[in-house]
């Protein structure tokens, strides 16, 4: 986007697409902004605006693919565990000429086969060309890797010399920026919609390291994985989800920012998974209420609420209650910023952490280690017949000696491990694979039999507080029984 100020230039008024769009709308509705010369407004042509949008679309569309996924799903209404073949799909964007494609992880979730429909190569120009676009080539694709935390995935097709798009710097995107969304909503490939950014850093859950670009560009089912581009045709986001009461577009769509996409893409391409660095602390954002209650010297920033025993932070001298001032000299303003900056540090490297303790500043050197990934390692150990706790939609197993060795930061050597979550369960949403359940409404849970007994005794609409240990941190999951 052109960031120059809106001013007239002799013979070339309002060069940027954003300015032309605004003025075109004003002219078409008979409105003129105060202070804008009438002569400049009269020179704005809707045809000029249309041509600009068509130019961007022509550059982007050859890089946007339709993704077709074949998998298995339960038959609706069946009382038995019957599965049927299911076909679903989404969109993706080519980000490297050697065939690497970025899409959403949920687009390829549960896939047995993934195919990509490449855009058709059009012939030469001429009045004899058909306005109907030919169907593109359907090719097999390999899932290189997925990342559940960001809902991103990387695919690879065996092709070379493909058209591709660059990933822009999403930190430069701001509210009001004009964007275009591309994809295959409802299977209608090569669809383009226009809108603006409504917000550039929307955090949907407190302390969540994931943020989104919010846009009013129409996004519908099937757009998932498609690119959100700026007016220069660069990817600033990957369309991920919508908020909707009707199931369709209501002007509230969300895209993963391109800077996050770039990190995940590079990690998956190099390592087949996403490696994230940690120091072994739980960092939380300081709020004015927290600062007042704890008599903190500042009402903003980052506080250490827990230090994992034996972790690099503990060995380096980080204490519970320390205020993290900076990381490698960069001021830390909130917990998300602290975690995301750590993610990008090389595993095994050492970072400088400045902390404020008892009014005095201290500089500590802390080693970065890889965050354990517990998302999938327990899923193969559970089955619905033996491990399902039905009322809360969790598939759990007893914490035994073998499993305990898979959890190096375990602080209590008893409880129940969450192996997987049942799809569609509202109660299961607050849990994560690898969580260790210790108590239910204050009652100790030693094994799966205990957990099933405590949950079964709860009446509908009963409030439930479950204490879990997650990556060495104690936290509470709160919900109601349906």
Kindly list the catalytic residues.
106, 151, 224
Counting Cα atoms < 13 Å in the Cβ hemisphere of 348 gives 0
The answer to whether 174 and 197 are in contact (CB under 8 A) is yes
Q: Is the dihedral of CA 220, 222, 227, 233 positive or negative?
A: negative
Asked if residue 175 lies in contact with residue 194, where contact means CB atoms within 8 angstroms, the answer is no
Q: Which regions of 6-110 does DSSP assign to beta strands (E)?
A: 64-74, 83-96, 100-104
Q: Give yes or no for a contact between 196 and 178, defined as CB atoms under 8 angstroms apart.
A: yes
- With 0-12 CB in 10 A as exposed, 13-18 as middle and 19+ as buried, what is 227? buried
Q: Please, are residues 369 and 323 in contact by the beta-carbon 8 Å criterion?
A: no
DSSP code, position 372: P
The helix/strand/coil state of 441 is: coil
Helices and strands in the chain: count of H runs, count of E runs: 11, 28
**Separation between Cα atoms, residue 62 and residue 324, nearest integer Å:** 46
Let me know the angle formed at the C-alpha of 350 by 306 and 152, rounded to the nearest 5 degrees: 75
Q: Of all helices (H) and strands (E), which one includes residue 138?
A: strand 138-140
Q: Edge-to-edge strands of the sheet including 138-140?
A: 138-140, 111-117, 64-74, 83-96, 100-104, 152-156, 142-147
Nearest to 296 by CA among 338, 318, 329, 325: 325
Give me the phi and psi of 477, to 5 degrees please.
-110, 125
- Taking the C-alpha atoms of residue 304 and residue 354, their distance in angstroms, rounded to an integer, is 12
Nearest of 91, 89, 98, 227 to residue 165 by alpha carbon: 227
Bridge pairing between strands 142-147 and 83-96? unpaired
Q: By C-alpha distance, which of 448, 441, 439, 451 is closest to 400?
A: 448
Decide: 252 and 244 in contact? Cβ < 8 Å.
yes
Angle, CA 149 vertex, CA 399 and CA 235 arms, to 5°: 165
Q: Which two tokens mark 462?
A: 């009963």
Distance CA 123, CA 18 (A): 32
The label of the residue with tokens 């969540």 reads 208
77: left (phi over 0), alpha (psi -120 to 50) or beta: left
């Amino acid at each position: 986007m052109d960031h120059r100020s809106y001013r007239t230039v002799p013979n070339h008024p309002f060069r940027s697409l954003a300015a032309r769009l605004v003025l075109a709308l004003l002219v078409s509705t008979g409105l003129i902004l105060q202070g804008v010369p009438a002569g400049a407004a009269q020179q704005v042509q809707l045809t000029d605006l249309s041509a600009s949008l068509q130019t961007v679309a022509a550059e982007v569309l050859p890089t946007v693919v339709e993704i077709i996924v074949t998998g298995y799903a339960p038959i609706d209404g069946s009382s038995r565990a019957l599965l049927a073949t299911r076909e679903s799909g989404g969109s993706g964007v080519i980000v490297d000429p050697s065939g690497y494609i970025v899409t959403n992880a949920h687009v390829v979730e549960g896939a047995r086969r993934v195919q990509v429909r490449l855009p058709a190569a059009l012939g030469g120009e001429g009045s004899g060309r058909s306005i109907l676009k030919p169907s593109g080539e359907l090719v097999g694709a390999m899932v290189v890797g997925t990342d559940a935390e960001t809902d991103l995935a990387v695919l690879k097709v065996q092709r070379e010399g493909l058209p591709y798009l660059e990933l822009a710097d999403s930190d430069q995107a701001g509210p009001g920026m004009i964007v275009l969304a591309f994809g295959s909503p409802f299977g209608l490939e090569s669809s383009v919609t226009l809108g603006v950014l409504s917000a550039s850093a929307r955090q949907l859950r407190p302390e969540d390291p994931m943020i989104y670009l919010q846009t009013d560009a129409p996004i519908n089912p099937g757009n998932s994985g498609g690119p959100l581009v700026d007016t220069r045709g660069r990817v600033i986001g990957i369309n991920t989800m919508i908020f909707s009461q009707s199931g369709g577009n209501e002007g509230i769509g969300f895209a993963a920012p391109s800077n996050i996409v770039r990190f995940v893409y590079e990690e998956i391409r190099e390592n087949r998974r996403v490696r994230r660095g940690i120091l072994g602390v739980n960092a939380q954002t300081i709020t004015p209420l927290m600062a007042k209650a704890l008599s903190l010297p500042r009402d903003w920033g980052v506080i250490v609420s827990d230090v994992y025993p034996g972790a690099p932070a503990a060995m380096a001298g980080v204490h519970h209650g320390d205020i993290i001032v900076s990381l490698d000299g960069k001021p830390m303003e909130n917990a998300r910023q602290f975690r995301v900056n750590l993610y990008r540090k090389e595993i095994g490297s050492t970072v400088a952490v400045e902390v404020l303790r008892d009014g005095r500043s201290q500089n500590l050197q802390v080693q970065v280690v890889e965050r354990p990934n517990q998302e999938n390692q327990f899923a193969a150990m559970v089955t619905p017949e033996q491990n399902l706790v039905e009322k809360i939609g969790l598939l759990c197993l007893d914490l035994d000696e073998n499993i305990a060795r898979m959890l190096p930061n375990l602080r209590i050597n008893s409880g129940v491990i969450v192996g997987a979550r049942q799809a569609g369960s509202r109660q299961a949403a607050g849990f994560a694979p690898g969580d260790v359940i210790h108590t239910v409404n204050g009652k100790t849970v030693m094994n799966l039999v205990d957990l099933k007994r405590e949950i079964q005794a709860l009446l509908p609409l009963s409030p439930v507080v479950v204490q879990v240990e997650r990556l060495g941190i104690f936290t509470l999951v709160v919900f109601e029984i349906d």
